[in-house]
Chain A
């Protein structure tokens, strides 16, 4: 099946720093999404980005589908950015689109 690998596994930043999170996937996918899980466990979709680049405030994401990777950029990080960032890809299996998650990047932003 499709493998999703995220790096780095852990990241510690000072407030105001920039960072890049990476997601590699092993096969062609229908789409790719980035999620943020806050310290209380709530998962929020950040981007639906099968290809190209999107921006939302201080966050932006780029997916290069032909090279099977996606990047999530966080600029001017804030303590509220802390949590786990997941990359998930969709693969069609058994009659439906199945989301396959990477293991996540755990981000801690310190004031």
Chain B
């Protein structure tokens, strides 16, 4: 079945460490997105990519980095510059960057210890 796979489901990070969250899709979607969800809040856009080797900053990109070397993969690195990284991270994809037909992964819960 087509879908989006995020890994790991739970991740613990020590202060000062960089960590990378994986997002893989087999839907043949062109566009991929990373969102951050904090308790009691909606989803906020971190980065998005409409095609391979191209990506753009979203609303809260500071302290994060991404790459898009393959159509299927859009990993997110949470760097040590992100001062408050504890959150739930969701990856999504859509066809041709439209706002219709978003498919979401099951998320990664990152905790700083």
Name A's B-contacting residues (CB within 8 A): 4, 9, 30-31, 33, 40-45, 48, 86, 88, 90, 94, 96-99, 101-104
A-B contact count (CB 8 A): 59
Q: Which listed residue, A4, A9, A40, A99, touches B99 by the CB 8 Å rule? A: A99
Q: Which residues from B are CB-within-8-Å of A94? A: 56
Q: Do B48 and A42 have beta carbons less than 8 Å apart? A: no
Asked if B74 is at the interface of the complex by the 8 Å CB criterion, the answer is: no
A48 to B98, CA, bound (A): 12
- Judging by beta carbons under 8 Å apart, are A90 and B104 in contact? no
Q: Chain A residues with Cβ under 8 A from B56's Cβ? A: 94, 96
Majority DSSP secondary structure for residues of A touching B:
strand
A42 touches B43 (CB 8 A): no
A41 touches B99 (CB 8 A): no
How many whole Å from A1's CB to the nearest CB in chain B? 9
Residues of A within 8 A of B31 (CB): 96
Q: Which residues of the partner chain B approach A9 to less than 8 Å between Cβ atoms?
A: 40
Query: Do the beta carbons of A41 and B42 come within 8 Å of each other?
Result: no
**A88 CB, min distance to chain B CBs, angstroms:** 8
